[in-house]
Amino acid sequence: MPLSCHSAIHKLHGETEYTIALAGNPNVGKSSVFNSLTGMGVETANYPGKTVELNVAVTELDGTAIGIIDLPGTYALGAVSEDQWVARRGVIESKPDAVIVVVDATKLARNLYMVIQFLELGFPMVIALNVMDVARRQGRSLDLERLSRRLGVPVVPTVANRGEGLEELMEAAVAVAAAGRKPSPEGFEYGRDIESRVAALAALIAEHDLEDPYGLPHRALALLLLEEDPEFIELTSGLPGWQPVLEQAAAMREEIAAEHGQPASSRIAAERHALAGMIAAEVEKVEETGPPPWGERLWGYTTSPATGIPILFLVLGSIFAVLYFVGNSLAALMSSLWYTYVETPLASALISLMGDNLLSQTLIWAARGVEAALTVGIPYVLVFYLLLAVLEDTGYLNSVAFLTDSIMHRFGLHGRAIIPIVAGAGCNVPAIIGTRVLSTTRERLIAGVLIVLVPCSARTAVIFGSVAFYSGWQYALLLYAILLVLWVLVGLGLNFVMPGTTSGLVMEMFPFRRPHPKTIFRKTWFRFKAFLYLAVPILLAGSVILGFLYDSGLLWDLAAPLAPVVESWMGLPAVAGLTLIMGILRKELALQLLVTLAIVEYGAAAQDNLLLLMSEWQLFIFALVTAIYIPCAATVAALGRELGWVRAVEIMVFTIALAVLVGGLLNQFGVHFGLA
C-alpha cells in the first residue's frame, strides 16, 4: 500500500535537509531525471480518494540528504484533471525548498506555460532544459542567460537519458533551496485589462489581511479566483473575511467575459500562452539545417497508415522472432548447464549427506524450482524487458498512439490508450496504473479489461516455454492469433454495451531519438531485478509446497475435485488445474511448477519432459487458458485500486469464465478432429 501524501512528505522533511519537487509534462524526460537522481528506494504516496500517485525518494549530494518529490507528469497546474490536481496539491502542501521544472528544449513555448504557473506560486525554482542534444540537431540556438534572466531563475541544460547536466542541476537546486531564492522574473505581466484586475484583487486580499491555508502569494490567489478555480473558491468561501473578495472576483470575471467574449479562465490561459511564446521567441533562434532530421522523417513513416501499419507488423514480428530464437536458445542452454553442473551434483551431495528423506527431497524440490525459473521465466522475461526498453527509449510507442487512434476509437478509446495496452505486454500492473492518462471512467474500464487480456511477459514465458518450445513457432503464432481475436471481440463488445462517447486525442508529437544503451540497460535491470525479487521466492515456496504435496500423496487427492472441469471439459490432467490455481500468484508459476512436476515424475529427459506429462495439444490448451484467466494477484490489486474492487472482481469472474469456455471449446474441437 502506498503511503499517504501527508505522511510521506512529513517523513521526507524529517529525514532530509532539503526537499525538492520535480515537475514536468509526461513526455519531457522527467522520469529519466528522477530515476537518475534517485535510483532505487522509491516509495509511492497518494491522496485519499485519488489514484494518481507521487513518487518520493531520498538522494545525496556531497553528504547532504535531499528529499525528491516526483509530481505527476502534466502539461499544466489546476483542478481540471486528477493528475493536475495532485501535482498542484503536492507542491503547495509539501512546501518544497525548491522546484525543478523539466522543460523540453525543442518545444520551449509549449513547456513554458506550466513554468509560468509555477512562477506565479512563488516557489524557489530551477529549470532543467532537457533534450538539448535534440534541440542542437534541429538547429535550435537558445540564449540560456537571457532565458534565466527573463524567468528570474537558474536554467541548466540537460540530456537526462545520458545523465548529462544532472549533477549541475542538483547543485543549482540545492543552492536555490539553501538561499531561499524566490523567482524574480523580468517584465512578467499580462495584458493591462487582466493585470489591473489581478492587482486590484491582490490589493483587496492584502487590505483585509486574508490568508489561505497554503500561504500562497496574493497575486497567485487573485489569479486562481479570476480563473474560477473550483478548489480555491470552495476553500476560501469557508474562511472568514473572504466573501467580499469572492464577490469582487465574480464581478471581475463577468467583466472580462463581456469584454473578450470568452470566460476569464480562457482569457488568462491565452495570456499565459502569449507570454510563453514571447519569451521563447526572444531566447530561441532556429537555423535552417537542410532536410528534416532522421527522427522527424521516421516519425512521418511510422504514423502514416500506408507505411506505419507495415512497420508495426514488422516490429511485432521482430519481437516474436527474437523471443522465439533468443529465448528458446537461452532456455535450452540454462537447462543443460543447470542440470549438468548444479542439480545432479547437488542432489547427489544432499542424499549422500542427509539420506533420502523428506528434508533432502524438499531441498531438491527447491533446486528444481530455481531450474524452472531459469529455463522458463528468465530467458523470455529478460529478453522482452530489453525489447520494451528499446521501444520506449526510441519514442516508437508515441507514434503507435497516433497511428492507432482511429482503430482504438472502435473500442471506445483513443490512440493514447495504446501506450498502457502495449506496456501491458511487459507487465499488467504498471499498464493498469497507466490508464490514468485516459480522461473518463468508461475509457479506463475498457482499457483495464483489454490490458488484462494482453499477454504480459509472464504469460509470454508460458507460451514460448511450452507451445513454442515443444511444438514450434507456428503454434505459438496461432495461439497469439486466437488471443488477438478474443481481444478484438471483447473490445468491440465493451464499446457496444457500455454507454458513452470517446474523447479526442491530444498529444504532442515527439520525433524519434537514438536509444541510449545506459538508459536501456538501466530500465531493463530495474524491471528484471523487481521480477527476480518477487518471482523467485514465490517459485521456491511453491516448489516446496508442491513437493510436499507430491511426496505425501496429497497432490492427487487435491486434484480430484478439479477433474470435471479440467479433465472432462478442457482435456487436461487434473494436476494441471492445481498449477493453474497457483499461477494466480504469478502466471509463469503455473508452467514452472508443471515443469518441476515433470522433472520429478520422469527425470530430466532433455526437452521431452513436459511431453511425457502432456501432449502438444494439451500444452496448447494449457498455455491458452493461462493467458486468459485471472490476471496475477498484483494485477488484481492494481485493478481494485484503480477501478474499485467490485469491478476488479467482475473482471476476475469474466476472465475465468472466458478461459474455461475457450479452453473447453478448443478441447472439443480437438477431440472432434482427432487432435486431442
- How high is the pLDDT of residue 48? 43
382, 528 Cβ separation under 8 angstroms: yes
| Residue where the block lists cell 469491478 | 647
- How high is the pLDDT of residue 666? 93
Residues 6+ apart with CB under 8 A from 48: 4
Cα–Cα–Cα angle for 199, 201, 204, nearest 5°? 110
Task: Give the start-end residues of each E strand in 94-244.
Answer: 98-104, 125-130, 140-142, 155-157
Q: How many CB atoms lie within 10 A of CB 321?
A: 11
Length of the chain: 676
| Secondary structure element (H or E) that encloses residue 286, with its range | strand 284-286
Reference 132, options 394, 513, 508; nearest CA is 513
CA distance 581 to 99: 48
- How high is the pLDDT of residue 8? 63
Domains identified in the chain and CATH numbers: 3-179 (3.40.50.300), 192-286 (1.10.287.1770), 305-503+518-672 (no CATH)
pTM for this one? 0.63
pLDDT < 50: residue spans in the chain: 1, 40-41, 44-51, 505-506, 606-608
Residue 56 main-chain phi, psi, to 5 deg: -125, 145
User: Is beta strand 43-46 parallel, antiparallel or unpaired with respect to 3-4?
Assistant: parallel
- How high is the pLDDT of residue 606? 38
| 454-490: burial string, b at 16+ Cβ within 10 Å, e else | bbbbbbbbbbbbbbbbbbebebbeebbeebeebbeeb
HSE (side-chain half, CA atoms, 13 Å) at 346: 17
CA distance 597 to 372: 10
CA distance 595 to 608: 11
Reference 575, options 592, 589, 596, 594; nearest CA is 594
C-alpha cell recorded at residue 610: 513436459
Q: Measure CA of the first residue to CA of the last residue in the chain; give whole Å.
A: 45
